[in-house]
A and B are shown apart, each in its own frame.
Chain A
Amino acid sequence: MLIREVMHPDPITIAPDVSLSKAYSLMNRENIRHLPVLESGKLVGIVTDRDLRLATSKLAEHPFDPQVEIREVMSHPVRTTHSNDPVEMATQIMRELKIGCLPVVDETVLVGIVTNADLLDAMLRLTGVHLPSGRLDIGMPDRPGELARLTKIIADRNINIHSILTYSEAGKRMRMVLRVNTMEIHALAKDICEAGFEILWPPHIICVK
């Protein structure tokens, strides 16, 4: 999954000479929290609703006047991502820098914006939760061929897989969350169990060996 599949194209932007107060009402009107700052078509900064509120707070030592220009409080230089970057890379950057959005810049042009909410949506899509499905949590040995063995069981029942998420459990085994298009999840779980895989959830599917 690439950034261009999850980003908002053509984001609302602002010029650096606009006042804090105007920027704030723009955010409220559009119901957004991040404004990329553009000067002659180039991304020169970014400002968030939090930046505005902190800068103008009465609690600040030297609060900014709401009429000062955005350029006074915006963050720059801006960390960006490319529309062909994988979503996990953008997620890593945002986690590392503890920021809530990344403008998407291809070469020198701002083409979109991606926020942490978009990445959560991306995760939901990756889980297949939006499609009617049953769900199993499975444990399997961490070695080649196991996944193929498992998916064959599913294919033999003519069941469609909506998503497979796998992760390693501290070198012990592979864990898998499986979403499959079947009403007969119990029967499938039993087949999987009998083939030697562990059903970790639901806990009560008794394996007949």
Chain B
Amino acid sequence: MRKVIYHPKYKEYDLGPQHPFSPVRVKMVLELLDSLGIPFNPVQPELISADRLKEIHEPDYVDIVEAVSNGEAAKDIGQYGLGTGDNPVVRGMAEGARWQCAGSLLGAQLLINGQAESVLQMGGGFHHARRGLAAGFCLYNDLALAVKTMTDHGWHVAYLDLDVHHGDGVQEIYYTSDKVMTISLHESGEYIFPGTGWLHELGQGMGRSLKLNLPLEPYTEGDSYLESLRKITEPALAWFRPNALVVQAGADAHFSDPLADIMLTTQNYQKIFSYIFSLVEKYCYNRVLITLGGGYSFFATARIWTLLYLMQQRYEIPAELPGSWLNRWRKIIGTDAGNNFHDREKAYRKIPRKGDIERVNQAMAIRLLDAVAGDWL
């Protein structure tokens, strides 16, 4: 059974008209599906209480987030990462975040109850939220909550983070856990946020060699990305054999994304998604929960997540975008998008350091496998 989760209240997680993490992105996806005549029949979650979040976050952090979200004055919010350009204080943001967490939680429950094997949650993916710190547009870590629901059920869970930024929040929360493997492929933190996700971050104590990070060179292209993904995920999942896979499917590794420098095309994303579905079948008892995440080039993000929906629900990928949808969004966003569903051929300029980049990435994957080899017996 393949299910989709969504609630219109997700839109309430809105950090302002200028903020990159915009509900417009999912709106574009839903309208595109509608224009394509593709059905969208999601299961709706029920709102969860703030106390539920205290299972993974520090209680005082949750209290502060809820208080400022209700318009109450609180001091020292800076130490909780709040009140910054990335994480501004906005009325109602906590409830919006809880709606999205509820969706990821429901996804985990559907898998546990056997009501679904494959769940696509059309929201969530707040991988930067730490135990006691808002960061990188994220307040509450829905992924960690979903994972906890599964581990409480006795499952081993693998978490795969495709977002272009390191999945530091999920990694932090499960750094010492032997029940959770985290794998993050991301642009190396030499200058982009959050600056972590280095190869030597392998987990601690019982969690040792279960936290895998593959920092990729800026300007890494699709082939090298896919090669790296294959080199790491297949042996990792074949060894760990999780009861389920949780995937954060951020779309900000697209070449047009303004926040980062990885050069994936929509065609690459299609290959990545189908590869992940094959891994799920082979090594993860056919259970997967996929969330959204980052993605700040609106046209690209909308197409990538629509692609994900179509693949998960096993619909055909259309060749062209509906004109009505294109015209409407071109007017709103201003930037141009091609008429085709996929990116055009040779969509970006040639990358001068291509060969070097590929070699660095290959060496990195080998070093990572060498680093864990002693523990993966």
Contact = CB atoms under 8 A, between A and B. Distances in A.
A159 B85 contact: yes
A185 B258 contact: no
B190 A182 contact: no
B20 A183 contact: yes
A201 interface: yes
A188 to B, nearest CB: 9
A181 interface: yes
Interface in A102-157: 129, 132-136, 157
A181 B86 contact: yes
Contact of B258 (A129, A133, A158, A186): A186
Contacts of B193: 132-134, 182-183, 185
A105 B261 CA distance: 51
B303 to A, nearest CB: 22
A9 interface: no
Contacts of A133: 193-195
Given A134-B192, A202-B190, A183 B81 contact: no
A159 B84 contact: yes
A160 B78 contact: yes
Contacts of B194: 132-134
Interface residues of B, number: 27
Classify the interface of chain B: helix, strand, loop or mixed: loop
Nearest to B85: A158
B137 interface: yes
Interface in A152-209: 157-160, 179, 181-187, 201-202, 204
A183 B191 contact: no
Nearest to A184: B259
A182 B195 contact: no
Interface stretch (B90-98, B128-136, B342-350): B128-136
B165 interface: yes
A136 B259 CA distance: 14
Contacts of A187: 258
A183 B196 contact: no
Contacts of B88: 158
B86 A183 contact: yes
A184 B296 CA distance: 11
A27 to B, nearest CB: 24
A159 B87 CA distance: 10
Contacts of A181: 81, 84, 86, 135
Nearest to B136: A183
A110 B372 CA distance: 42
A186 B190 contact: no
Interface string B163-193: 0010010000000000000000000011111
B259 A183 contact: yes
Contacts of A182: 84-86, 193
A134 B197 CA distance: 13
B23 interface: no
Contacts of B84: 158-160, 181-182
Contacts of A204: 218, 261
A158 B194 CA distance: 17
B85 A202 contact: no
B230 to A, nearest CB: 28
Contact of B137 (A160, A183, A201): A183
A120 to B, nearest CB: 15
Q: Which of B85, B128, B133 has the most CB of A within 10 A?
A: B85
Nearest to A135: B191
Contacts of A183: 20, 86, 136-137, 165, 193, 259
A186 B261 CA distance: 10
Contacts of B259: 183-186
A201 B137 CA distance: 24
Interface string B130-155: 10010111000000000000000000
Given A159-B85, A187-B258, A179 B136 contact: no
Contact of B191 (A129, A134, A158, A159): A134
Contacts of A186: 258-259
A132 B133 contact: yes
B86 A129 contact: no
B190 A129 contact: no
Contacts of A160: 78, 84
Nearest to B130: A132
A134 B195 contact: yes
A187 B133 CA distance: 23
A183 B85 CA distance: 9
A134 B128 CA distance: 13
B348 to A, nearest CB: 14
B195 A129 contact: yes
Given A182-B193, A183-B20, A132 B85 contact: no
Nearest to B260: A186
Given A132-B193, A132-B195, 10 more contacts: A132-B135, A132-B194, A134-B195, A158-B85, A159-B86, A181-B84, A182-B193, A184-B85, A185-B192, A186-B259
- Per CB-CB distance, the 4 closest pairs between chain A and chain B, nearest first, are A132-B194, A158-B85, A132-B135, A134-B193
16 contacts: A132-B194, A134-B192, A134-B195, A135-B195, A157-B85, A158-B88, A159-B86, A181-B84, A182-B84, A183-B193, A183-B259, A184-B20, A185-B259, A186-B259, A201-B190, A204-B261
Interface of B: 20, 78, 81, 84-86, 88, 128, 130, 133, 135-137, 165, 168, 189-196, 218, 258-259, 261
